[in-house]
Amino acid sequence: MSDEELRDQINKIAVQIEKIEQVAKQKESYISNKLSGEFDPKISEIEGKMRQQKSILNDLNMQIDVLTSKKKELIPIVKNLENEWNNLKKEREKSLNLNLKAIEKEKKTKTKDIDRQIKALEKELKSLETK
């Protein structure tokens, strides 16, 4: 083959490659447009919902942070108050028991004295009856 024939063949092949590339670009453009038309509205809709939900989530996270901070402040306060409350209840119970024991002791002492007086009077009554 001559130089010219080889160049003609190379040019024909180059033209074929250009046609293939043009057809490929057309197909790419068609597919890209078709898929954009099909997916872009859905993507935009979801994107709007996603932004809205992210905003709500961010607000909630800020509220959670505030509440967590307040919780950390309140936990020791509540614990101290519970301890104080429990201590006061125990102290009250202890004091009540001591006072009740004291009353019971006083009652026994007084009843013992009265019982002795009754026995003495009964003894005296018996002695009067036997006379």
**pLDDT reported for residue 56:** 98
Mean pLDDT throughout 61-67? Answer: 98
Report domain extents, the chain. 1-101
What is residue 101's predicted lDDT score, i.e. its pLDDT? 97
Distance CA 35, CA 43 (A): 11
**pLDDT tens-digit readout, 75-90:** 999 999 999 999 999 9
- The backbone torsions φ and ψ at residue 2, rounded to the nearest 5 degrees and listed phi first, read -85, 170
1/93: higher pLDDT: 93
Q: What is the pTM of this model?
A: 0.52
Torsion of CA 76, 82, 87, 90, to 10 degrees: -160
* Position 12 pLDDT exceeds 80: yes
- Residue 124 has a pLDDT of 86
What Rg do the C-alpha atoms of the chain give, in angstroms?
52
Chain-wide mean pLDDT for the chain?
95
Structure confidence at residue 131 as a pLDDT band (50, 70, 90) = low
What CA–CA distance (Å, rounded) separates 97 from 100?
A: 5
Dihedral sign (CA 90, 96, 99, 100): negative
Distance CA 56, CA 49 (A): 11
